[in-house]
Amino acid sequence: MIIHVVTLFPEFFREALACGLMGKAMESGLVAFDFINPRDFAADRHHTVDDRPYGGGPGMVMMLGPLCAALDAIDTPGPLLFLTPGGRPFDQEAARTLAQAPHLTILCGRYEGIDARLGDLYPLRPVSVGDFVINGGEAAALCVIEAVARLVPGFMGKFESADEESFSSGLLEYPQYTRPEVFADIPVPDILLSGDHARIAAWRREQSLAATLAVRPELLPEAGLTARDVEYLREKKGPGLGRNLYVALLHGPVLNRQGKTGTTSLTNLDVHDIARVSRSYGLGGYFVATPLDDQRALAEKLVSHWTHGPGAASNPDRSAAMSLVRVRRDLGEVTDEITRERGVAPFVAATSARAEAKDVFTGFARLRELLGERPVLLVLGTGSGLAPEVTCLADGFLPPIRPFDAYNHLSVRSAAAILADRLLGDVG
């Protein structure tokens, strides 16, 4: 495989690529590098490669002339990667595909970036190695080069493995141990000394699952789990962040379709559906709030039917869900109760289907962080949404669901399900 690297700093790579297995692969001819410096193609005697951006702003931009001449100097470029934080994330799957090609060209940006017209002239594939900013594409290019080159057949020695590692299985790696058997009073896990290969393989699989659950739970749903894996994770998981999440469904004060403040009546399936979501996601509690006495009595009767009446015996699953429901008068009662119960006031997050709010939204990532620290109360409005009398009491607003579509009319039941899933996913 020949890797062409277009860079203002060829010397960045020289020693780095000479190390370890990469150095051996170069010696054996398995991988070869070809460095092309746009500076060698600059038209003026100062070898200028950058200029100030049109439209102003800090920094310098790489000029088209030297870049185009550098790319044109490559006879067989193969796939043409351009390293930029604005690119598609580079991953093991991309490495596998690129390792099949006999040629690969990697363009390293520097300064504030390159003249964007380069993308109109060459089939650039912008890729990013991570959500951080570095001084140029060179360090990222080293990562891509290593990830790709080590998958070229023959690169890894016969005792090493390119495959049995993180992301090959979709799970993080299991822990490794080597001699001595006891170090600083810490022994190697017994099972690794047992010689029982099947049990060792099972233990390592569980360790991989546990590591992924702890550090990268979002990888689990895509990891091709077996039924046995799922069972292990169920035992291992324990209560998630959900125990800090509470939901309140307000029937007043809410807006009607004319935008006036009022009270809505109870909807049977709102109570059921959101209770089932609350139980499935392990929530701390689900409050149904209405200022009307007869509506509260009705709600209590409904809940009681399923928790203590005939429904409890006929459907224990539904009973488990409905037992999370607490019927209360208003938001104040709810927040007071959570505060008493938890010893700290909840962060009150209001929800709205409208994106016109002047407020800065509290994003889902931020709310997940908050869930790790304190109780969070998600306030949902019936009717046409929460009235200003309620929203002014909120500590933050969640962004609307599907804000970039003109149509945005989910039922409050659907919204509750989606919000719980966005905050907690399969694992939280």
By CB under 8 A, what part of segment 228-267 binds its own copies? 230, 233-234, 237
- 361 touches its own copies (CB under 8 A): yes
Tell me the C-alpha distance between 382 and 250, whole Å: 6
Neighbours of 403 (CB within 10 A): 11
Q: Which one of the spans 44-52, 296-304, 305-313, 340-348 is the region binding its own copies (CB under 8 A)?
A: 44-52
**189: number of CA atoms within 13 Å, CB side?**
11
| Residue 227 interacting with its own copies (CB under 8 A) | yes
CB 427 within 8 A of CB 220: yes
Sheet of 32-36, strands arranged across: 32-36, 2-6, 103-108, 80-89, 125-128
Q: Could you tell me the smallest distance in angstroms from the CB atom of residue 41 to its own copies?
A: 14
Instruction: Cis check for the bond before 239: say yes or no (omega within 30 of 0).
Output: no
Candidate list 32, 100, 308, 363; residue touching its own copies; CB under 8 A:
363
Which 264-293 positions form the footprint of its own copies (CB under 8 A)?
Answer: 269, 272-273, 276-277, 279-282
146 touches its own copies by CB under 8 A: yes
- Give least dist CB 58 to its own copies, A: 4
116 near its own copies (CB under 8 A): yes
Q: Tell me how far CA of residue 15 lies from CA of 10, 140, 152, in angstroms.
A: 10, 16, 21
- Among 38, 66, 77, 113, the residue binding its own copies under the rule CB under 8 A is 113
Q: Which residues contact 267 (CB under 8 A, 6 or more apart)?
A: 382
- Work out how close the CB of 157 gets to its own copies at its nearest, in angstroms, rounded to a whole number: 9
> Can you list the positions of beta strands (E) in 269-363?
285-289, 325-328, 347-350
In this chain, which of 266, 338, 371, 427 binds its own copies, going by CB under 8 A? 427
CA distances from 279 to 7, 379, 421 (A): 55, 17, 12
Q: Going residue by residue from 300 to 339, which x/- string records binding to its own copies, judged by CB under 8 A?
A: -----------------xx-xx------------------
404 binds its own copies (CB under 8 A): yes
CB 330, min distance to its own copies, A: 26
Q: Which residue of 27, 72, 86, 336 would you call a contact of its own copies, by CB under 8 A?
A: 86
Of residues 42, 107, 147, 394, which one binds its own copies by CB under 8 A? Answer: 147
Q: Which of 357, 372, 388, 389 binds its own copies (CB under 8 A)?
A: 357
Say whether residue 220 binds its own copies (CB under 8 A).
yes
- Bridge partners (DSSP) listed for residue 247: 286, 378
Dihedral sign of CA atoms 193, 163, 152, 71 in order: negative
| Cβ distance to its own copies smaller for residue 224 or 343 | 224
Q: Which is nearer to its own copies, 90 or 287 (CB)?
A: 90
Compute φ and ψ for 424, nearest 5 degrees.
-115, -20
Secondary element (H or E) of residue 248:
strand 245-250
- Residue 27 touching its own copies (CB under 8 A): no
- Closest to its own copies by CB, 32 or 215: 215
Say how far apart CA 162 and CA 145 lie, in whole Å.
Answer: 14
